[in-house]
A and B are shown apart, each in its own frame.
Chain A
């Protein structure tokens, strides 16, 4: 029943920038910069107009995909991509496990830690396309270069996430295993593996579908698989075949997504 508090105004205190003037300056400045930046982007409207037509043909290809006339190329490309995806994921994950353990600060001694972190950094610095170009130059066109690229990228991705997961474990469980007189491999097997396994499986499945999508991209620079088929189709202006390929990629990625979320729920 206190009347003293009645009618007191309340406003949320400013979150990021305290001073009203700097706030206006910063936001206003950003807006002006955005306007100027957009105005510098040169758009050739005539070219856009011509391009609309090509875009339309591409879209039409999508709407009337042709699976038949190039089916041999498509099925071969898909098979190559799937092989590449599965083998590179398996090899990548197998190599990532020891590296990930080595890169976890709470289990690895300093020199090993730094060494493994360096491998991870190296693998993560280079985008797949660049790595693929390098391997294609080294081993020639074809799925072998693609396999190496994806395996290399998988190592960095999986090892980093695994190491982080190991650093987040419940130390008490590992300590209890150590207290029984367990050796280092036993500590990993009993104290750590059960704690990180569900996430490791989940991430491997996630990486499997990333690798499939990437296999389509790196195929364009010559690393084999469905990407190479897609590239050929586009080069030949066969947008109906290209549309068929894209649809298949979408279907496979969706199937992978759906089944991996099921498996993840199951391994918890």
Chain B
């Protein structure tokens, strides 16, 4: 599906952001990319869709090599790679619907996007996706009127509107509270499962990564230092990735924080049916919207 072959990036300043990263991601697999700030996580996922130009190595998507493409070919590949961003990166002054439809930009000619005359099929899909992420009634609101969690769901809908074969997700929860973070991660997980979409997720939060991904890759100083299932991610491995720290204490504290936040939200939001994990997540999302 996705294959990176000895991918390297060296910035003009001389910093080696990536030093020969090789990995493969299979269909439907959700990969969490963890590592300290500056380890090259963002660079790595941006090298895949060439928002950042790699300086060495190759990227293959379905055995098509992306690194040598340019112009229209590159755009044709990019439109099949959905991307979800930290801080959402919605076009703030456009409506929710325009943001979702912008996922079709790679498919439609300029005049259609300029006049906002998208083919009916695209509009239908956009409404269906908004429904799916629980924002159907917000279609004509401006993106900057929404809350953080809502915006990220618009971001998800935009990425899916592209009919992606692969999702690249850059710190999806970095600016969200613990509860919303879990909901967003759960939504991403479900959507990937529904469509057997592979995803590469940069994620700061190790606990969240453990909870929601199939495979974890640890990146330190531009090199892969761990690659395995979440279960194998023990203190020794974390120390290898992040450096020495009292991991157990941090995790306990973080888990308590998250629970506190959920309790508080439940107390305020009147979540009476708090069979939390048993409840169907999309209903909870729709209810919150």
Q: How large is the interface on A (under 10, 10 to 19, 20 to 34, 35 or more residues)?
A: 20 to 34
The answer, yes or no, to whether B123 is at the interface (CB within 8 Å) is no
A111 within 8 Å of B (CB atoms): no
A185 is an interface residue with CB less than 8 A from chain B: yes
Chain A residues with Cβ below 8 Å from B98 are 190
> Which residues from B are CB-within-8-Å of A178?
51, 78
- Inside 8 A of A173's CB, which chain B residues have their CB? 89-92
The answer to whether B89 and A182 have CB atoms under 8 Å apart is no
Residue contact B102 to A181, C-beta cutoff 8 Å: no
Is B83 an interface position by the 8 A CB rule? Answer: yes
Asked if A69 CB lies within 8 Å of chain B CBs, one says no
Chain A 163-207 against B: per-residue CB contact (8 Å), 1 yes, 0 no? 000000010110111111111011001110011011000000000
Please give the distance in Å from A185's CB to the nearest CB on chain B: 5
Interface of A is mostly: helix
Decide: B162 and A180 in contact? CB cutoff 8 A.
Answer: yes
CA distance A185 to B76 in the complex (A): 16
Which partner residue on chain B sits nearest A182 by CB separation? B105
Binary interface encoding of chain B residues 65-108 relative to chain A, with 1 for a CB under 8 A from any of its CBs, else 0: 00000000001111111010101011111100010001111110
Whole-angstrom CA separation of A177 from B93 in the bound complex: 13
Query: A172 and B93 in contact (CB under 8 A), knowing A178-B51, A180-B158, A182-B106?
Result: no
Closest to B85 in A: A176
Which residues of chain B (150-207) have a CB below 8 Å from chain A? 155, 158, 162
Give the complex CA separation of A189 and B109 in angstroms: 13
User: For A185, what are the chain B residues with a Cβ–Cβ distance below 8 Å?
Assistant: 110, 114
Closest A residue to B113 by beta carbon equals: A186
Given A172-B89, A173-B90, A176-B91 in contact, is the A181-B113 Cβ separation under 8 Å?
no
Contact A181 B89 (CB under 8 A): no
**Chain A to chain B contacts (Cβ below 8 Å), 30 pairs:** A170-B92, A172-B87, A173-B91, A175-B85, A176-B83, A176-B155, A177-B91, A177-B102, A178-B78, A179-B51, A179-B78, A179-B81, A179-B83, A180-B79, A180-B104, A180-B162, A181-B75, A181-B77, A181-B78, A181-B107, A183-B75, A183-B110, A185-B110, A185-B114, A189-B113, A190-B94, A190-B105, A190-B113, A191-B91, A195-B93
